[in-house]
Chain A
Amino acid sequence: MRRLGPWMPQRLGPQLVMLTTLAMLLAIGGHAAWVLREQSDRLASGLKDHAQALAQNLAVSSAGPLVQLELDRIEDLLMRASSFPDVTDLRLVDPAGRVLSQVKRVPGAQPERVFNSVPTTSSTPPAGEALASVETVDGVDKMVAWAPVVAGTRLGWIRAELSTAELEAARLQAWRTSWYAALIAVLGSWVLVQLFLRRPIEALQNAHGFALQLDHARGRRLEVMSAPLEIEDLQRALDNASVQLEAQRRDLEVTLEKDLRLEADFRVAKQTALERSQFLARMSHEIRTPMNAIIGMTYMALKTPLDARQRNHIDKANRAAQNLLGILNDVLDFSKIEAGKLRVEAVPFRLDDVLQDVVDMLAYRASDKGLEFLLDVGTDVPATLVGDPLRLLQVLANLCSNAIKFTEQGSVVVRVTQLEQDANHITLDIAVRDSGIGLTQEQQQGLFQNYSQAEASTTRIYGGTGLGLAISRALVELMGGRIWVESQPGEGSTFRFECRFGVADNAPEHHGDIPGAIAGPRAWRARESVGAPALAPTPLLEPAASASAIEPVDSLMLVGTRILVVEDNEFNQELAIMVLEADGAVVEIAGDGEQALQRLSCEPGFDAVLMDCQMPVMDGYIATQHIRQRPELAGLLVVALTAEVSEEEHQKILDAGMDDHITKPFDPPAMVAMLAQLINEQRLAKA
Chain B
Amino acid sequence: MKRRSFTAALSLALGPLPTLSAPSKDEARAMTVAVVPQFRAEEIHRIWAPLLARVAQETGQPLTLVVPASIPAFERAMLAGEPDFVYANPYHAVMGHRAQGYIPLVRDSTLLTGIVVVRADDPIRSVAELDGKTVAFPAPNAFGASLWIRALLAEREKIRIQPAYVKTHSNAYRSVLAGLSAAAGGINLTFDQEPPEVRKALRVLMETPGVPPHPLAAHPRVSAPTRSAITDTFMRLMTDRGMRELMNDIPWVNPVPADYARDYKPLESFGLDKYVVNSNTP
Name B171's contact: one of A70, A99, A113, A114 (CB within 8 Å): A70
What are the interface flags for A46-83 relative to B under an 8 Å C-beta threshold, 1 for contact and 0 otherwise? 00000000000000000000001111110100000000
Q: Can you list 12 A-B pairs with a CB-CB distance of less than 8 A?
A: A69-B171, A69-B175, A70-B166, A70-B167, A71-B178, A98-B178, A101-B174, A112-B197, A113-B195, A113-B198, A115-B197, A115-B198
**1/0 per residue A117-146: CB within 8 Å of B?**
100000000000000000000000000000
Q: Could you give, for residues 250-289 of chain A, a 1 whenever the CB lies within 8 Å of some chain B CB and a 0 otherwise?
A: 0000000000000000000000000000000000000000
The answer, yes or no, to whether A100 is at the interface (CB within 8 Å) is yes
| Chain B contacts for A117, CB-based, 8 A | 177-179
Asked, given contacts A112-B197, A113-B195, A113-B197, whether A68 binds B174 with beta carbons under 8 Å apart, the answer is no
Provide the bound-state CA to CA distance between A232 and B153, in Å: 109
CA distance A113 to B201 in the complex (A): 10
Specify which chain A residues have a CB less than 8 angstroms from the CB of B178 in the assembled complex.
Answer: 71, 98-101, 115, 117
Instruction: Judge if B146 is at the interface, Cβ distance under 8 Å.
Output: no
Q: Which of A98, A99, A117: most chain B Cβ within 10 A?
A: A117
Q: Is B277 an interface position by the 8 A CB rule? A: no
Residues of B within 8 A of A75 (CB): 170, 174
> Which residue of the partner chain B has the closest CB to A76?
B170
| B residues at A contact (CB < 8 Å) | 119, 166-168, 170-171, 173-175, 177-180, 195, 197-198, 201
Complexed CA–CA distance, A73 and B171 (Å): 8
CA of A7 to CA of B251, assembled, Å? 81
**How far does the alpha carbon of A112 sit from the alpha carbon of B173 in the complex, in Å?**
16
**Chain B residues positioned under 8 Å from A99 (CB to CB):** 178
CA of A100 to CA of B173 in the docked complex: distance in angstroms?
A: 12
Provide the bound-state CA to CA distance between A461 and B206, in Å: 178
CB distance from B195 to the nearest CB of A (A): 6
Return chain A residues, CB-CB under 8 Å to B168. 70, 72
Q: Which residue of B lies closest to A74 (CB)?
A: B174
- Interface hub of B173, B178, B179, B195 (most chain A Cβ within 10 A): B178
For the complex, what is the distance from the CA of A347 to the CA of B178, rounded to whole Å?
Answer: 144
- Report the bound CA distance from A113 to B194 in whole Å: 11
CB neighbours (8 Å) of A112 from chain B are 197
Minimum C-beta distance from B8 to chain A (A)? 19
Q: For B173, what are the chain A residues with a Cβ–Cβ distance below 8 Å?
A: 72
Q: Which residues of A sit under 8 angstroms from B179, Cβ to Cβ?
A: 98, 117
Give Cα A89 to B278, complex, Å: 42
Q: How far is the CB of A114 from chain B (nearest CB, A)?
A: 7
The distance from the CB of B67 to the nearest CB of chain A, in whole angstroms, is: 19
Contact B198 A71 (CB under 8 A): no
Interface string of A92-120 (1 = CB under 8 A from B): 00000011110000000000111101000
15 further contact pairs, Cβ within 8 A, besides A68-B167, A112-B197: A71-B171, A71-B177, A71-B180, A72-B173, A75-B170, A98-B178, A98-B179, A100-B174, A100-B180, A115-B119, A115-B197, A115-B198, A115-B201, A117-B177, A117-B179
**What is the CA–CA distance of A75 and B177 in the complex, to the nearest angstrom?**
12
Known: A69-B180, A70-B166, A70-B167. A114 touches B197 (CB 8 A): yes
Q: How far is the CA of A70 from the CA of B170 in the complex (A)?
A: 9
Per CB-CB distance, the 9 closest pairs between chain A and chain B, nearest first, are: A72-B170, A117-B179, A71-B174, A115-B177, A115-B201, A100-B178, A72-B171, A113-B197, A117-B178
